[in-house]
Amino acid sequence: MRRMLEEFGDQRFERLAGISNGQFYNLRKSTTYQRRRTTFKKTRATSVSIGERRKPRPKGRPGFLRVDTVHQGDKDGEKGVYHVNVVDEVTQWEHVATVRAISERCLVPVLKALIEACPFKVRGFHADNGSEYINHRVVEMLKGLHVPEFTKSRPRRSNDNALVESKNGNVIRRHFGYRHIPKLFAREVNAFARDTLSPFLNFHRPCLFATDVVDPKGRIRKRYPYQDVMTPFEKLKSLPDVEKHLRPGITIASLEEQARAMNDLDAAVALNKACARLFELIDRETDPRRRRSA
């Protein structure tokens, strides 16, 4: 406004040329200014058509998987590995895999391998709203594997994916902890998770299974009776007409043979030894002092 008066000689700006910056802020706070110059619009929700926003409905059938990702820490600006945890809704059958990154190129082949590793037909796939799962490449992969249902968690419903999130703490953090694991060890960690950890979880680690009980006030409470404590394989075996849920070529007898190949104690000892060897390798390769001594 000062330039309009001094440089261009426009006398209409004679009074406005001397107005202070503070007065402009005072004017902007006035009701008249805000009513005439300010426009408010509600934030538009972005809708993603991938996946149905609801809770899975297995109705006692195996094959409704829940998936989540666990990050293994950062160090000096470097990302660690990511664990992909897949858990069945009914039997708590669980498979764990490890990838270098959660990009589509890394994640989609691993998800396919985890689904194909399940002994039963997979009918549903449930994830939170992370973009690593809610994308078209995952949709195409599920279609190729003939998985009919793809669901995702609802907003403000923290229990929609609670089963796999509880397994993240009780399984992933229990065995891998919170320490940083560099991405260059993704292959070794994945081999441990595939060959040692996942078989132990499914054949030798008992899980709690809830029973709904109605209390005197009419509220539904969950109880965990001792007789319902069993491994995921035992839970699968206890389902009615279990054979019709299995993949072609998979039988209860073949799974039983795998479960009986080692008792629970020996499997736990083998798991601990394999885990110790894995972290000894990681420590040796990441600690310069240990590398020189070796």
Residue 189 lies in a domain: yes
Residue whose tokens read 């107005």: 19
CA atoms within 13 A on the CB side of 178: 1
Residue 42 lies in a domain: no
**What pLDDT band is residue 291 in, cutting at 50, 70 and 90?**
low
Give which of 244, 48, 46, 44 is closest to 151, Cα–Cα.
Answer: 48
Output the pLDDT for position 43: 65
Cα 177 to Cα 192: distance, rounded to the nearest angstrom: 15
Total of domains in the chain: 1
Q: What's the pTM value of the predicted model, to 2 decimals?
A: 0.79
Q: Does residue 119 register a pLDDT over 70?
A: yes
Q: Does residue 256 register a pLDDT over 90?
A: yes
Residue 13 lies in a domain: no
Residue 17 lies in a domain: no
Residue 122 lies in a domain: yes
- pLDDT above 70 coverage of the chain, percent: 96
Q: Among 100-104, 123-127, 187-191, which is the least confidently predicted range?
A: 100-104
Taking a C-beta distance cutoff of 8 angstroms, is the pair 72, 180 a contact?
yes
Highest-pLDDT range among 21-30, 38-47, 154-163, 192-201: 192-201
Residue 44 lies in a domain: no
CA atoms within 13 A on the CB side of 17: 13
- 151-162 burial string, b = 16+ CB within 10 Å, else e? bbbeeeeeebbe
CATH of residue 190's domain is: 3.30.420.10
Sheet (strand 64-71) strand order:
52-53, 149-152, 124-127, 64-71, 82-88, 94-99
Question: Average pLDDT, stretch 87-98?
Answer: 96
Residue 45 lies in a domain: no
Residue whose tokens read 């043979």: 257
Question: Average pLDDT, stretch 195-221?
Answer: 92
Q: Containing domain of residue 274, as a range? A: 62-293
Residue 287 lies in a domain: yes
